Structure 1
Amino acid sequence: MHYLRILLFLAAFWWFLSGYLLALILALGTLSVLLVTWFVHRMDRVEGGYQRLRVGLGLFRYLGWLMWQVVLSNIALVRCIWDPALPIRPVWKRLDTRVATPFEKALYANSITLTPGTLTTDVKDDHFMIHCLDPAGLQELKGGEMEQRIRSLGI
């Protein structure tokens, strides 16, 4: 039943984005949806079964907050690039974290990478290796607001 829901959701989403009803396009879309569903099935077997993601209002609030952080980071990065008086001082440091579940770790690492000027280069047990174009970005991460928001989701 889980895979049927995934298949139907992907098919509807693909059709919504495509909007075409030509035979070739429908055949390629069907092939794409079947291939992605097969990949999901294989990933579930490798990782020990599927885990239900509890999507609540908190996740949407977090994504809205993250989008705002991306906008703010874009502005800061553009200022840093366009203004020669603001030097780029890259740092590569270890960031200790207290996120617990694999999903929280993935969400945190990807959120850091999505934010312009920062990149998660490695994820180990309870720490990440982070590359930042400016030490202020690393200090902001060490402040812990992003981590706290992810931990409060309870995923």
Structure 2
Amino acid sequence: MALWLLMSGLYEPLIIGFGVASVLVVVLVAKRMDAVDGDHLDIRLKPIKTAQYIVWLLVEIAKANWTVTKIVLSPGMEMRQHLFSVRYTQRSDLGQVIFANSITLTPGTISVEVEPGHFLVHALAYSAHDHIALADMDRRVTAIEAMGAA
């Protein structure tokens, strides 16, 4: 709410009142939802390793963007679409979600299906190097999980 106030520059009492009321409604709804299902997610990640992973992922996204751009702009470039299985080693649901979303965030690849122990991945420009790159990504995501994550 404070960020919105700073960025909007609107400090009228009615607007601030609506903002406070909105925040309270969201907090109450969230508390009520939590009381109903009792589903909790423990976020156990190593902060420094997570920051390093995010930087690495952004670089990988930029490199993959360049590859996809070349495919789109070069009608003669051969697309080698392929569905393949990628094993994961994450111990927590959060780690698996981070890995699957990292695959999907990388242009040209998407996590299609989750099975115990592996993901089904679609690649726009498949190469044998994809397995090596995704194994490296899997290793990096596993490294950000804190010990004791279940």
Name the counterpart of 2:114.
Answer: 123
Residue 2 of structure 2 corresponds to 12
Q: Classify 1:53/1:84 alpha carbon distance in 2 versus 1 (closer, same or farther; 3 Å).
A: same
Report if the CA contact (8 A) 1:88-1:134 is conserved.
yes
CA distance in 2, matches of 1:71, 1:91: 21
Matched residue, 1:22: 12
CA deviations over 1:104-144 (Å, ceiling 9, x no partner) = 00100111111111111222221112111111387246651
Task: State the TM-score, normalized to the length of structure 2.
Answer: 0.77
Identity %: 23
Partner of 1:7: none
- Higher alpha-carbon deviation: 140-149 or 83-92: 140-149
Query: What letter corresponds to residue 61 of structure 2 in structure 1?
Result: V
Alpha-carbon shift at residue 145 of structure 1 (Å) = 0.9
Question: Which one is further off, 72-81 or 29-38?
Answer: 29-38
Q: Is the aligned partner of 1:148 residue 2:139? A: yes
Q: Unmatched 5+ residue regions in structure 1?
A: 1-10
- Count of paired positions: 145
Question: Secondary structure of the residue that 1:134 maps to in structure 2?
Answer: coil
Q: TM-score, normalised by structure 1?
A: 0.75
Structure with more of its chain in helix, by fraction: 1
Provide, for residues 23-46 of structure 1, a one-character-per-residue CA deviation record: whole Å limited to 9, x for no partner: 454345335434543564425863
Aligned to 1:79: 70
Q: Is the 1:44–1:50 Cα contact (8 Å) retained in structure 2?
A: no
1:97 matched to 2:88? The reply is yes
Give the equivalent residue in structure 1 for 2:57.
66
RCO comparison, higher one (Cα < 8 Å, 6+): 2
Larger of the two Rg values belongs to structure: 2
CA distance in 2, matches of 1:31, 1:80: 49
AA aligned opposite 2:140: R
The Cα shift of 1:149 comes to 0.6
- Unmatched segments (≥5 aa) in structure 2: none
Cα distance in 2, alignment partners of residues 98 and 44 from structure 1: 32
CA distance in 2, matches of 1:79, 1:44: 50
The verdict on how the C-alpha distance between 1:47 and 1:145 changes in structure 2, with shifts beyond 3 A counting, is farther
Q: Structure 2 CA distance, aligned partners of 1:141 and 1:19? A: 49
